[in-house]
Every structure is written in C-alpha cells, then in structure tokens.
Structure 1
Amino acid sequence: MTDQIFEGVYGTYTIDATDRREVLGYRLALTAVAIGQAGLLVQWRQLGADQLWPWMLLMAAGLGLALRWIHIYLVPLHRALQLFWLLGCLGGLALAIRSGPGAMMPALASQPLWILAIGPFFAALAGVGFKEFFCFRRPEAIGVTLLLPIALLGHLSGLLPGAITTALLALESGLLLVLCLRKFPMPAAADVGDKSVFAYLKGQAGPAEEAAL
C-alpha cells in the first residue's frame, strides 16, 4: 500500500507503512486484553477461580503493547497511562508472590484491599476506553470507561455484592471486545490522528519532553 498524504491542522503529513503496522499492533494488543478478560471471566464461572494467571498475563502483555503503540497527543497523559499499567503489573506481581499465582483471584475476592494494588492497571485500561470515546464517540468505549471503576470500587467498598461486580465486569469485557472488533475496518489514519499536531507539539516541547516524543 502506498503512503497516504493528509492535510492537518499544522500542514500536510503522511501515513506510511510504519504507522499502519503500529495501528495494527495497537488493535491486536487491545483485542488480546479483551480476550484475556473474557477468558478469565468464563473460566472463573465455569471452572472456578483457580489457575487464572495465564489470562492475567495475556491482559498485562496486551495492555502494555497497546500503550506502546497508542497515539495520544498529550505526552504526559500517555506516560501517566503507562505508569498506571506498570504500577498495576507490580501490584499483580506482589499479589502472585503473596498468594501464589494459582490463587490470585480467590485472594482478590476475599481481600478486596488488593484491588488498590492492581487498580492502576484497570485505571490505565479505563483511560484507553476514555481516549477511544473522546476520539470516536463509540458508546461501548464509555461503557468500558465507567463500568471498570464502578465494579472495582463497588467491590472494594463493599457496596456491590460479588454477583453484581462480576456481571458488571462481564458487561465491560463484552463492550471492550465489541470496541476492538469495530476498530479493524477503520482506516489506519483514524488511530494515528493528525501527525502535524504531533510534529507541532514536538517543536514546542522542551529538550526532555522532545526526547520522549
């Protein structure tokens, strides 16, 4: 496929093969998160809460790669989401060490305070959902953004019984999968955004910020 030229706010820009690969990687990685979350919930319901860690690894890897390839104009926001992902993964590692990899979900169910440790991971995922809603106004994206914190904070505070928390997470998981599947027919340029804005912000950034762009 040949490079495509677009007119941006601050001049023309090109969508090239590298951009298309990054967009495909982002979409596949986010889909991996959706599949991992759905697989975890299905296995939990059908087979119990033991040995769910492979799905958690898939979610962690998928979100980490999605945040590597996502296009966000504001570098501090992008870095904040990556930091949340890292903190959440470290919290999950601490939980695995404390309870054992096979007993992570029972530990979360019985000791809701562990949600504070892994919560940043889901904050990062909710942030991706908000970005998708802000850019594309997809209703399923705002569902992902709102249902995750409602379910987790409801469980943490004890305001929501376990069955409702699980139902909300299942609904959010389904919405995330719908969001991912609807992205694949979209042109790559939609996820890349206006590259002239990135170039302008890079020109306005200080030396430290410019190195991060």
Structure 2
Amino acid sequence: MAVVSVVSSTIHFALFHRPLQISTVCPCSSSVSCRWRKTASRKQSLYSRGKDSELMVRRAVGEGGESGSSADVVYRGVYGPWTVDSDDIREVILYRSGLVTAATSFLIAASPSFLPESSTISHVIKQNHDLLYAIGTGGLGLSLVLIHIYVTPIKRFLQALWAAGVIGSLATYVNSALPLNESLPSYVFYLPLSIWLVGPLFASLTGLVFKEGLCYGKLEAGVLTFVIPMLLLGHLSGLMGDGVEHNLLALWMVLFAVFAARKFTQPIKDDIGDKSVFMFNALPEDEKRTRIQKLEQEQQ
C-alpha cells in the first residue's frame, strides 16, 4: 500500500521537476527553435496548473451580433486554434459520469458505517457490497481512460495502478473472500493486510483527484489527496483508532460527493485542456517538425 502514499509525489515530481516535452527530438538546432519549445512547455505547464493561457475569439452569428454556440468558439492553443466538437463534449460527459458513478457507489457502500447495525437498508447494502465495488471500479476506470493529461506516461501510470488494483481485488475476492462467504470490502476491513492487493486501485483515485486539485485549484480534491492514503495506511498499520478512521471515512464521503457534483459546474473546455497539444502529439514526426517550423516563422 506504499504506492498510495507515493503516487501524489510521483505525479508532482513529473509535472514540476521535468520539462514537458512534446517531442523527444528538437526539430531544429537553432537557439530560436529551442527557445520556442521551452516557451511552449512553460505555457502548457501553466495551463495544467489551471491558468487560462488561451485567447478566445467569439464569432458573431447573424446581424444581431449574438455570440455563437460552443462550436463557434475558437480557442488559441500552443500549436494552433481549436474548437470543441461533439466528440469532445461526449468524452467529457462520460469522464464526469464515471466520476459520479464511482462517488455514488462509494457513498452507498460506505453508508452502513453510519447506519444502525439492525437497519434493513444497511443489510441490503452489505449484501450488495461486491456489486457496488465493481460498479465504482468500472466508473473510475472509464474516467481514467478518458482523462486528459498532457504527460502521457502519467496517464499510463494511473491506468496501470487501476489495472493492478483490479487484478488484486479479483485475486483477493476469489481466493479469500468468496470461500469465507464474505464480501470483498468486508474482508479487507477485517484483514487490513489485504489492502496491499486492492490498494493500487485507490492509489489511481488519489492520482486523479490530485490532478484535479492541481489543475483547477479544487480544495475538496486537494484534501482528498491526503485523506485517502491516510485512512488506508492508518487501517493497514493499525495505528489509527476506530474513531479516527470513522471520522476520516465521513470526511472522504463528503469530499468525494462535493468533488463529483462540482465537476458539472465546470466549462466543458476545462476538462479538454489545450486540444492543440493532443492534436500535435497525434501527428507523425515529420508533420510535427513542419508544424513547429511554421509556428517559428509566424513568430518572427
């Protein structure tokens, strides 16, 4: 479970202690080219920290001068203009829906901790713990597939953590929880050492909320970055009392609910980022060099 405690620092190091390279080879040997690439890297870094570095141009529709729809808004990115299309909107909605699914499943699954033991609702929820765990895991996985992160290795790292957590969860359930007729969450609760196997799943969630807190300055996401590993590591070590664990779980539930709900208050373009960067990364190497040369000429 040590991976949960280091995932935030790993992402922070990757974002702030290494330059954001769009191409592994500097296309030109001139100092002008390299200076331009450093400027582009700084711009992207600023955007990833939530600073809006785009120039937005609204096109008038008709003679009335009213602003157009989202498709009529052009954003000036590092590598050229871009617009929000229907595919972008669909991806962002699915990304946010995945987060809502994960948060809702977690809230329902954790609620018996705050309900009377003899409650019918509590009993029904406990009977469906594994289903809720699977639904929440699927929602988180969907969001990690659709999340927009400029540094691809970070995205792949979070996805790898999720996959490792899924494998560990399945192994724990099939080999340990199921033979004892226990749900996976209950088994992990009563046998803290099993957190080592399911922990990477929550480490991927920690990385996601860290990214959200870093990019958009969301307080609830920033606090979640610490609450999640604190609760899991505290339960794993046995050094945290039941009362403290109970309070941290309640805080996790509240913050996760606020975080998921507030995602739908953001403009669609926020979760897209600078689309020109992703468009540039998708180009073949020769087209990348051509694009950079063209941008250099425009700046002269």
Q: TM-score when scaled to structure 2?
A: 0.64
Task: Show CA shifts across 1:139-177 (max 9, x none).
Answer: 001111110001001111111123322321221122121
Structure 2 residue aligned with 1:147: 227
Given the alignment of the two structures, is residue 86 of structure 1 paired with residue 154 of structure 2, yes or no?
no
Aligned equivalent of 2:256, options 173, 176, 189: 176
Structure 2 distance, partners of 1:203, 1:166, is 50
Structure 2 residue aligned with 1:210: none
Structure 2 distance, partners of 1:71, 1:126, is 16
In structure 2, runs of 5+ residues without a counterpart are 1-68, 116-121, 286-300
Given the alignment of the two structures, is residue 71 of structure 1 paired with residue 148 of structure 2, yes or no?
yes
Structure 2 residue aligned with 1:35: 104
Instruction: State the superposition RMSD in angstroms.
Output: 1.9
Q: Is the radius of gyration larger for structure 1 or structure 2?
A: 2
In structure 1, runs of 5+ residues without a counterpart are 206-213
Letter in 1 for 2:158: L
Structure 1 distance, partners of 2:187, 2:265, is 40
Structure 2 distance, partners of 1:167, 1:33, is 20
Structure 1 distance, partners of 2:80, 2:242, is 52
1:25-174 correspondence runs (5 A) = 25-46=94-115, 47=122, 50-51=126-127, 52-97=129-174, 98-100=176-178, 102-174=182-254
Partner-residue secondary structure (3-state), 1:15: coil
The structure with the largest helix share of the pair is 1
User: Contact 2:109–2:126 (CA<8 Å) still a contact in 1?
Assistant: no
Letter in 2 for 1:34: A
Letter in 2 for 1:29: G
- Post-superposition offset of 1:186: 1.6
User: Contact 1:36–1:59 (CA<8 Å) still a contact in 2?
Assistant: yes
- Post-superposition offset of 1:204: 8.5
User: Contact 1:38–1:170 (CA<8 Å) still a contact in 2?
Assistant: no
After superposing on structure 2, the runs of 4+ consecutive aligned residues of structure 1 that deviate more than 6 Å are: none
Structure 2 distance, partners of 1:94, 1:163, is 30
Identity %, equivalent residues: 37
Distance 1:187 1:50, change over 3 A: closer
